[in-house]
Amino acid sequence: MSEKISSFELAMLVANFLFTGTLISLPQALVEASGQNTWMVPIAVFLFMSLFVWVVMGRKEKLAGFSRRFLSGRRTMLEKLFLVSFGLLFATAYIRDVRAMVDFIATVLLPTTPIDILTILAVLAVIYLASSGLEVIARVTMIQFIVLGATILLLPFMVLNEITFGNFQPIVGKELIIGVAQSSFLLLAWIGEGIFILILLANMNNAPKARNGAITGIGIAMFLLTVLIALQVSVLGVEIVTVSPYPSHQLIQQINLTDFLDRLDLVIVTVWIPTFFAKVALDLYLLNRCLTSGRSEDFNIFMIPVGLCLGLLSILLFRNNMEHIQFSFYTWAVWGLVVELLIGLLFMMRRKFSKS
C-alpha cells in the first residue's frame, strides 16, 4: 500500500529540506558576494523558484490524472532519464550533506572523535530513519521543524542587545544588483533541491495541492533564511560572517540572557541536529525510490549498502573541511542547478507527451 502525505506535510518536508541545509555554512558565501544586502537574496530566489515550480508542474486540474500515470507501469525513455538524473542529484546531495553534518559535529561538539566513527554512527541513524518510510519521515520532520522554526523566530529577541542596524548600511550601493545576482546564483541550486516533490506526487493525498504545498514550503524556508541572514549581518557584521566557517553557530553564541545562561548555543544546536538528520534521511529515501521505482513494493534492503557506501565516499572524496566547503559553495552551484533544470525539463516533456 502506497504511503500518503498531506499538502501540509509536504510543505514541512520542503521547508525543512531547504532551510536546514543552507543554514550551516552557506550564509558565509552569500554574504561574501552581496555583503549587507544579502537579506534580499532569499526573497529574489523565492520569486524565481515559485515561478519555476508553477511552470514545471503545470495546471492543477491535470496534475491529479498525470500523477497516477507518472512512473507507473512500463518506463518510457523520458522517465528513465528522469530517474537517472534524479538519482545522481540526490546521491551527490547525500554525500555532501553527510560530510557537512559530520564536519560540524566534529568541529563544534565532538572534536576528539575520529571523523570515520562519526560518519558510521550518523549514517546508521540516517538509514534507520529512512527505512521507516515517507510517512514517518514526514511526521518526524513536521514536529522537529516546527520547534526549529519557533526557535529561529525567537532569535531576534534573544540577541536584541547585540543588534547594530548600522551594519546594513549602505542599503543601496553601486554593487547591489551584481552582488545580489551572484548570491542568488549560489543559492538557487540549494533551493532547487525542492524538485524532489516531483517523485512524491503519487504519495500525495491530493496531488493538485502539491504545487501549493511546495511553494508554501519554499516560502517558509526563505523567510526563515532571511531572518537568519539579517541577524548574522546585524549582530556579527559582514567582516566576521565572511570569514566564519559556521556563522549561524557563531550567531547563537552571542546569546547571553543571564550570567548562568551563557551556553544556549548547545541547546539550539541540539534542536537543529535532528532536523538535519531528517533531511539526510529524506535524501537517502529519495535515492532508494529511484532504485526501486516500478517494483510492486519498496525494497529497503538497498538503503543499507547504498547509505554506507555513499557515507564512506563522503570521507574519501574530501580530504578536509575546506575542500567540502568549496564543493558545496561553488561546484554545487553549477552541478546542482544544471541537473535540477534537466529534471524539470524531463518532467515537463513527460507531462506534455502524456496521454490525457
Confidence at 175, pLDDT banded by 50, 70, 90: confident
Q: What pLDDT does 1 receive?
A: 46
Average pLDDT, the chain: 89
Domain that holds residue 331: 7-352
Residue 342 lies in a domain: yes
**AA identity, residue 183:** S
Q: What pLDDT does 268 receive?
A: 86
Q: What pLDDT does 300 receive?
A: 77
Residues 96 and 22 sit within 8 Å (Cβ to Cβ): no
Region of 26 on the Ramachandran plot (φ > 0 left; ψ -120 to 50 alpha; else beta): alpha
More confidently predicted of 268 and 154 = 154
Residue 273 lies in a domain: yes
Distance from C-alpha of 282 to C-alpha of 20, rounded to nearest angstrom: 12
Is the per-residue pLDDT at 295 higher than 90?
Answer: no
Task: State pTM to two decimals.
Answer: 0.93
Residue 1 lies in a domain: no
14, HSE (Cβ side, Cα atoms, 13 Å): 33
Is the per-residue pLDDT at 45 higher than 60?
Answer: yes
Distance from C-alpha of 289 to C-alpha of 216, rounded to nearest angstrom: 24
Is the per-residue pLDDT at 285 higher than 90?
Answer: yes
Distance from C-alpha of 185 to C-alpha of 177, rounded to nearest angstrom: 12
Q: 150-159 — which CB contacts under 8 Å span 24+ positions?
A: 151/268, 151/271, 152/224, 152/227, 152/228, 153/224, 153/227, 155/227, 155/228, 155/231, 155/251, 155/252, 155/255, 156/227, 156/231, 158/255, 158/257, 158/264, 159/231, 159/235, 159/251, 159/254, 159/255
Is the per-residue pLDDT at 284 higher than 90?
Answer: yes
Provide the residue count of the chain: 356
Residue 2 lies in a domain: no
Is the per-residue pLDDT at 19 higher than 50?
Answer: yes
Confidence at 354, pLDDT banded by 50, 70, 90: low
Assign residue 346 the CATH number of its domain.
1.20.1740.10
Is the per-residue pLDDT at 257 higher than 80?
Answer: no
Residue 20 lies in a domain: yes
Q: Tens digits of per-residue pLDDT, 52-76?
A: 999 988 776 667 666 666 766 677 8
260 Cβ contact list (under 8 Å, min separation 6):
none
Confidence at 261, pLDDT banded by 50, 70, 90: low
Distance from C-alpha of 42 to C-alpha of 23, rounded to nearest angstrom: 12
Residue 48 lies in a domain: yes
Is the per-residue pLDDT at 259 higher than 80?
Answer: no
111, HSE (Cβ side, Cα atoms, 13 Å): 2
**AA identity, residue 196:** F
Low-confidence winner among 42-46, 171-175, 200-204 (lowest mean pLDDT): 171-175
> Domain total for the chain?
1
Counting residues of the chain whose pLDDT is more than 90, the rounded percentage is: 67
Counting residues of the chain whose pLDDT is more than 70, the rounded percentage is: 91
- The residue-averaged pLDDT of 35-56 equals 94
Distance from C-alpha of 24 to C-alpha of 185, rounded to nearest angstrom: 18
Residue 260 lies in a domain: yes
Confidence at 139, pLDDT banded by 50, 70, 90: very high
- The residue-averaged pLDDT of 254-281 equals 82
**AA identity, residue 246:** Y
Q: Tens digits of per-residue pLDDT, 310-343?
A: 999 999 999 898 999 999 999 999 999 999 999 9
Q: Tens digits of per-residue pLDDT, 211-249?
A: 899 999 999 999 999 999 999 999 999 999 999 989 999
Is the per-residue pLDDT at 296 higher than 60?
Answer: no
Residue 37 lies in a domain: yes
